[in-house]
């Protein structure tokens, strides 16, 4: 248990807010570009940001530890793959539904605990999982039935991103027990992800497409995501995984509020509101286990 549980909660809330801001920045960038370009710029921005900070936050012994290996393993799938899935989901489904469905990350965390650690599935956890599933059904419903302005398979995008993030959180926490530096964890993970994303671009022969304005939004999203990951890792370092990740799931609430009061660019339907109302409490119930 953390000696400063309230600090962990504050860090997690700050991370949730910045993740929501990242979603909106990415959505604006996608108006003039594509998901792969956005993901590459996002990851590159975060990597450059932390390399600039490295002389002030990294100690030489960090590099020769098991923690560095774990951070690198996380970087293979996050943020390169998780960011690509999330950005593509924002492009197809919009930032609010994406945030709501990626809030299912603690569900996967609970499943990891049950299957790998031998924990039991209690009533609250079962109700929480059911609420998240119900949220996905509501997101697909309209007066004409299951008619959407996005394809049903698109649910795989945010849920896949949530699965990757949940596994990444668990491995990152293990690494932080060996190397207690939230910034170093982001530095290593983003650097590995950048190498993978850059190699994929080169192999596929893809051009970096977009407008200068879209690039600026992607850079902004990269900075926001980078700082958000720092707060998240700081929370994981001093708090428990089951307590931190559900608080980060407040992201869809922040996304909705930012979209309504700041960006004023997304239409909110009853489906979105009900989805958020089901998913967020459902995740919280899972965390109460």
Model pTM score: 0.81
Tokens of 238: 């001093």
Query: How buried is residue 55: exposed, middle or buried, by Cβ count under 10 Å (0-12/13-18/19+)?
Result: exposed
Exposure on the CB side of residue 79, measured as CA atoms within 13 A = 29
Task: Specify the pLDDT at position 266.
Answer: 63
Task: Specify the pLDDT at position 61.
Answer: 97
In the chain, which residues have pLDDT < 50?
1-2, 145-147
Residue with tokens 């190397």: 179
Name the 3-class secondary structure at 80. Answer: helix
Q: Which residues contact 72 (CB under 8 A, 6 or more apart)?
A: 188, 189, 192
Rounded Cα distance between 234 and 212, Å, is 33
Task: Specify the pLDDT at position 146.
Answer: 45
With the C-alpha atoms ordered 80, 227, 168, 154, is the resulting torsion angle positive or negative? negative
Name the 3-class secondary structure at 142. Answer: strand
Cβ-contact 10, 245 below 8 angstroms: no
Task: Specify the pLDDT at position 247.
Answer: 75
- Give the structural domain span for 14: 5-287
User: C-alpha angle with apex 240: 118 to 85, nearest 5 degrees?
Assistant: 85
Cβ-contact 31, 98 below 8 angstroms: no
Cβ-contact 61, 113 below 8 angstroms: no
Residue with tokens 């008619």: 147
Rounded Cα distance between 33 and 211, Å, is 7
Tens digit of pLDDT for each residue in 139-185? Answer: 555 555 444 577 888 889 989 988 988 888 888 888 998 999 999 99
Q: How many domains does the chain have?
A: 1
């Amino acid at each position: 248990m953390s000696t400063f549980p309230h600090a962990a909660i504050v860090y997690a809330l700050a991370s949730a807010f910045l993740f929501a801001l990242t979603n909106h920045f990415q959505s604006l960038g996608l108006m003039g570009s594509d998901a792969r370009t956005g993901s590459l710029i996002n990851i590159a921005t975060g990597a450059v940001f932390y390399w600039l900070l490295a002389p002030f936050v990294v100690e030489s012994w960090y590099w020769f530890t098991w923690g560095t290996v774990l951070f690198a393993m996380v970087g293979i799938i996050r943020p390169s793959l998780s960011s690509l899935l999330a950005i593509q989901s924002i492009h197809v489904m919009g930032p609010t539904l994406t945030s709501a469905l990626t809030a299912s990350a603690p569900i996967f965390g609970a499943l990891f605990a049950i299957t790998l650690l031998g924990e039991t599935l209690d009533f609250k956890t079962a109700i929480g999982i059911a609420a998240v599933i119900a949220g996905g059904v509501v997101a697909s419903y309209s007066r004409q039935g299951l008619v959407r302005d996005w394809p049903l398979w698109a649910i795989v995008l945010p849920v896949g991103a949530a699965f990757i993030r949940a596994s990444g959180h668990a491995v990152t926490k293990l690494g932080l027990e060996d190397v207690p530096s939230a910034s170093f964890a982001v530095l290593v993970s983003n650097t590995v992800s950048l190498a993978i994303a850059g190699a994929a671009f080169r192999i596929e022969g893809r051009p970096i497409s977009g407008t200068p304005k879209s690039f600026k939004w992607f850079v902004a999203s990269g900075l926001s995501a980078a700082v958000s990951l720092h707060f998240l890792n700081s929370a994981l370092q001093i708090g428990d995984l089951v307590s931190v990740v559900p608080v980060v799931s407040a992201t869809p609430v922040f996304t909705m509020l930012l979209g309504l009061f700041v960006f004023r660019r997304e239409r909110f339907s009853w489906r979105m509101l009900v989805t958020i109302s089901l998913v967020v409490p459902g995740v919280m119930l899972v965390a109460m286990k």
